[in-house]
Amino acid sequence: MRKTILVLVPLLVVGLYANSKKINPDEQTTIGGTTVGKYSKPGAPIDMTYKTTKINTNETADVNITLTTTAQSGKVLVSMNIDNNLTLVDNIDTNQSFDITPDKKSFNIDMRVSSKNEGLYYIRLLTKVQTGLHPKLRSFAVPVMVGENPKPVTRGVNFLKAKSGENISVSKAVETIEVIK
């Protein structure tokens, strides 16, 4: 009996501690990211910051996107492509245009999406900054996670462990064979 109590008490303490930790629902379900301050390949002078909510199937995710440019004037043109597995809940225009002024260089795009299938999907933006001389483009992608730990799908290749132990991604070559002699 004494031994049983000695075992049970620590287990009880651990269990109580685990349950007493407050779980912040926002931390669990909100995903955010930004390109601000990160290295950019040459392209349009524009950054993107986003916030989305992680959802289960048939739930609705809030997607908040902010585009910020360092251009002093001109236009930002945005063309959005919503993944086939996502459904736009609101009726928003997927092609938008914003005028850049010295006082207005940040632009918000908000939407809601849902999905019937688990997976990692993206809302893709192709932005063009027109400042008069040489318009440039930059692409962004906003992830929407549906379900638990969704992963991207790799199609058409065969992942193997070679005999040497290395991981290889094998595809079939287009091969022609000829007997020479």
Partner 1 sequence: MLQKLHLFFLFPLLLILFSGCNTEPVAVGEGSKIIGTVTYDRVPSKVNAYGEVKLDYNNIQLKTAKYVVVKALDENDQVLAETTTNGRGEYVLYVPKNTNVKIRVYARMLKKGVWDLSVVDNTNMKAQYVIEGGLHNSGDGTTKRDLRAASGWDGYSYSGSRDAAPFAILDSINTIMQKVLKANPNIKFPHLLVNWSPNNVAAGGDPSLGQIVTSNYDGNSNLWILGDANSDTDEYDDHIIIHEWSHFFEDKFSRSDSIGGPHSAGDSLDIRVAFGEGFGNAMSAIATDNPIYFDTSGPNQSTGWFMNIESATPENPGWFSEASVQRILYDLYDANNDGTDNLHLGFKPIFNAMIDKERNANAFTSIFTFITALKSENPSKKSAIDNVIAGENISPIRDIYGNYRTNSAQGMYTKPVYRKLEVGKWVTQCNQNTFGVYNKLGNRTYMTVNIDSSDIYTISAKPYGGEYGDPDIVLYKAEYPFKSMGMSPLEGTSSDELTINLTPGKYMAEVYDASFNNSCFVVALNKGAGSLQKTRTNKLKPMMKRRPRRMPQY
User: Distance between CA 46 and CA 9 in Å, rounded?
Assistant: 58
Query: In the complex with partner 1, which residue's Cβ is closer, 31 or 88?
Result: 31
User: Distance between CA 141 and CA 43 in Å, rounded?
Assistant: 15
Q: Give residues with Cβ within 8 angstroms of 53, minimum separation 6.
A: 29, 30, 31, 61, 62
Give me the least distance between CB of 41 and partner 1, in Å please.
Answer: 5
Query: In the complex with partner 1, which residue's Cβ is closer, 62 or 83?
Result: 83
Contact 45, 69 (CB under 8 A): yes
Give me the least distance between CB of 95 and partner 1, in Å please.
Answer: 13
Q: Which residues bind partner 1 (CB under 8 A)?
A: 31, 33-47, 70-71, 79, 81, 120, 122, 124, 126, 129, 131, 133-143, 151-157, 159, 162-164, 166-181
Query: In the complex with partner 1, which residue's Cβ is closer, 13 or 106?
Result: 106
Query: In the complex with partner 1, which residue's Cβ is closer, 46 or 98?
Result: 46
